[in-house]
Amino acid sequence: MSDGHGGHTVQSFDEELKRLSGVLLDMGDLAIAQVRDGTRSLFERDDELAQEVVAREKQINAYDTQGEEMAIQVIARRQPMGVDLRSVIVMLKSFTELERVGDEAKKIAKIARRMIVDEQDPIDAYRDSVKRMAIAAEHSLVEVLRAIREQDENLAIQVAERDKLLDIEYKDALRAIHEGLVSTPSLLPVAAESVLIIKAIERIGDHAKNMAKLVVYQVAGRDVRHVKSKRLAEALGKTDEEDDAG
């Protein structure tokens, strides 16, 4: 905590940040569950689970509202500066990213419900690609939450850099869907739904990447939002050589 506060103020400000972080991490855990259950409802054709995901999205929105209100109150009451202000801003932006993850999970669950009603099923030709994408996106969320919890800049960099693997899976899945349509044009309805699903999963990965870059900003004080993920470590001097001490 910065030295610009008196002792009591430092302690109470730390406690407020801890409460705000707690809400963010709780929201993150729920977002992970939403992604996991949304994709599971699709592959297991579980309409009841899909309904639960859609219904739980209200909780995601409630966390987002609560976090935003808490962050604004902290800024108004404490008028933090430097690293303290950076911490609040990062959490505020992270709430938004997680809310969007929730939106994508709900979208997947709604598509799952439509496919169940229409007796459609993801085609075997790209089922594995979609599953790999879902696992990768969920893993990125788990890891970025750990990076937030532990303030681990290196882990955050790894999460951001791994997003390119999800992009590769996305392109592979699109290619498989296209090839399936060429050989079997009657698959157009299920192919159209599947494109929406993989796009939603790809966006979940993007939100995890964005959160990872926010962690880097919080810990290192470097705004790397517009740095390509594959060049992130190099931009931060996290390659073979250590940063100069001075």
C-alpha 48/C-alpha 217 separation (Å) is 40
Q: What is the pLDDT of residue 191?
A: 86
C-alpha 147/C-alpha 174 separation (Å) is 31
| 15-64 pLDDT, tens digit each | 999 999 999 999 999 999 999 999 999 989 999 999 999 999 999 999 99
Task: Output the six-digit token pair for 4.
Answer: 């610009």
Low-confidence ranges of the chain (pLDDT < 70): 1-9, 120-125, 229-231, 233-246
Question: Residues 210, 96: contact at Cβ < 8 Å?
Answer: no
Question: Residues 71, 92: contact at Cβ < 8 Å?
Answer: yes
Q: What is the pLDDT of residue 8?
A: 38
Q: What is the pLDDT of residue 188?
A: 86
CATH superfamily, domain at 7-235:
Phosphate transport system protein phou homolog 2; domain 2 (1.20.58.220)
